[in-house]
Protein backbone atom coordinates (compact mmCIF):
# COMPACT_ATOMS: atom_id res chain seq x y z
CA UNK A 1 0.00 0.00 0.00
CA UNK A 2 1.33 3.44 -0.92
CA UNK A 3 1.13 6.03 1.77
CA UNK A 4 -0.08 9.50 0.83
CA UNK A 5 2.67 12.10 0.72
CA UNK A 6 2.84 14.04 3.97
CA UNK A 7 0.80 11.50 5.93
CA UNK A 8 2.31 9.40 8.71
CA UNK A 9 1.06 5.84 8.95
CA UNK A 10 0.75 4.22 12.36
CA UNK A 11 -0.11 0.68 13.30
CA UNK A 12 -2.67 0.03 16.03
CA UNK A 13 -0.03 0.08 18.79
CA UNK A 14 1.76 3.29 17.84
CA UNK A 15 1.02 6.90 18.47
CA UNK A 16 2.90 9.99 17.42
CA UNK A 17 4.34 10.22 20.94
CA UNK A 18 5.59 6.61 20.84
CA UNK A 19 7.22 7.19 17.46
CA UNK A 20 8.86 10.39 18.66
CA UNK A 21 9.99 8.78 21.90
CA UNK A 22 11.80 6.02 20.03
CA UNK A 23 13.10 8.34 17.31
CA UNK A 24 14.50 10.85 19.80
CA UNK A 25 16.21 8.35 22.14
CA UNK A 26 19.68 9.05 20.69
CA UNK A 27 19.18 12.80 21.08
CA UNK A 28 17.98 12.44 24.67
CA UNK A 29 21.10 10.42 25.46
CA UNK A 30 23.20 13.46 24.49
CA UNK A 31 21.64 15.81 27.05
CA UNK A 32 24.00 17.17 29.63
CA UNK A 33 22.42 18.19 32.94
CA UNK A 34 22.73 21.86 31.91
CA UNK A 35 21.05 21.30 28.53
CA UNK A 36 18.41 19.13 30.20
CA UNK A 37 17.60 21.93 32.66
CA UNK A 38 17.17 24.42 29.81
CA UNK A 39 14.98 21.96 27.89
CA UNK A 40 12.71 21.40 30.90
CA UNK A 41 12.39 25.17 31.40
CA UNK A 42 11.47 25.86 27.75
CA UNK A 43 8.13 27.60 27.19
CA UNK A 44 6.78 29.28 24.07
CA UNK A 45 6.46 33.03 24.04
CA UNK A 46 3.16 34.68 24.95
CA UNK A 47 2.15 35.56 21.38
CA UNK A 48 2.69 31.98 20.19
CA UNK A 49 0.72 30.62 23.13
CA UNK A 50 -2.10 33.07 22.39
CA UNK A 51 -2.20 31.88 18.77
CA UNK A 52 -2.30 28.22 19.83
CA UNK A 53 -5.11 29.01 22.27
CA UNK A 54 -7.09 30.87 19.58
CA UNK A 55 -6.69 27.99 17.14
CA UNK A 56 -7.67 25.47 19.82
CA UNK A 57 -10.85 27.41 20.54
CA UNK A 58 -11.73 27.61 16.85
CA UNK A 59 -11.03 23.89 16.51
CA UNK A 60 -13.33 23.07 19.43
CA UNK A 61 -16.03 25.16 17.77
CA UNK A 62 -15.43 23.49 14.39
CA UNK A 63 -14.51 26.86 12.85
CA UNK A 64 -10.94 26.26 11.59
CA UNK A 65 -10.21 27.01 7.95
CA UNK A 66 -8.06 24.49 6.07
CA UNK A 67 -5.00 26.72 6.47
CA UNK A 68 -5.66 27.18 10.18
CA UNK A 69 -6.12 23.43 10.55
CA UNK A 70 -2.68 22.85 9.02
CA UNK A 71 -1.18 25.53 11.25
CA UNK A 72 -2.82 24.01 14.35
CA UNK A 73 -1.66 20.50 13.40
CA UNK A 74 1.88 21.84 13.03
CA UNK A 75 1.73 23.37 16.50
CA UNK A 76 0.40 20.08 17.91
CA UNK A 77 3.25 18.13 16.30
CA UNK A 78 5.77 20.63 17.66
CA UNK A 79 4.22 20.37 21.12
CA UNK A 80 4.50 16.57 20.99
CA UNK A 81 8.14 16.87 19.90
CA UNK A 82 8.99 19.27 22.72
CA UNK A 83 7.03 17.18 25.25
CA UNK A 84 9.07 14.08 24.43
CA UNK A 85 12.35 16.01 24.63
CA UNK A 86 11.30 17.50 27.97
CA UNK A 87 10.47 14.03 29.31
CA UNK A 88 13.91 12.81 28.26
CA UNK A 89 15.48 15.87 29.88
CA UNK A 90 13.62 15.18 33.14
CA UNK A 91 14.96 11.62 33.08
CA UNK A 92 18.51 12.98 32.81
CA UNK A 93 17.87 15.30 35.76
CA UNK A 94 16.17 12.55 37.81
CA UNK A 95 19.16 10.23 37.30
CA UNK A 96 21.49 13.03 38.33
CA UNK A 97 19.57 13.57 41.59
CA UNK A 98 19.41 9.82 42.28
CA UNK A 99 23.18 9.44 41.85
Residue-number span of the structural domain to which 50 is assigned? 16-98
Does some domain include residue 23? yes
Residue 9 lies in a domain: no
Tell whether 77 is covered by a domain: yes
Report how many domains make up the chain. Answer: 1
Residue 6 lies in a domain: no
Is the model's pTM score more than 0.85? no
Q: What is the pLDDT of residues 59-81, one digit of tens each?
A: 999 999 999 999 999 999 999 99
pLDDT, tens digit, 9 for 90 and up, residues 6-39: 444 545 445 888 999 999 999 999 999 999 999 9
| Statement: residue 4 has pLDDT above 60 | no
Instruction: Tell me the three-class secondary structure of the chain, residue by residue.
Output: CCCCCCCCCCCCCCCHHHHHHHHCHHHHCCCCHHHHHHHHHCCCCHHHHHHHHHHHHHHHCCCCCHHHHHHHHHHHHHHHHHHHHHHHHHHHHHHHHHC
Task: Specify if 94 maps to a domain.
Answer: yes
Amino acid sequence: MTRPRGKICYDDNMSRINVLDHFLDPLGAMFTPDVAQHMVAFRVDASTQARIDALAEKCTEGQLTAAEGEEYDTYLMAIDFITVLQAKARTVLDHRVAS
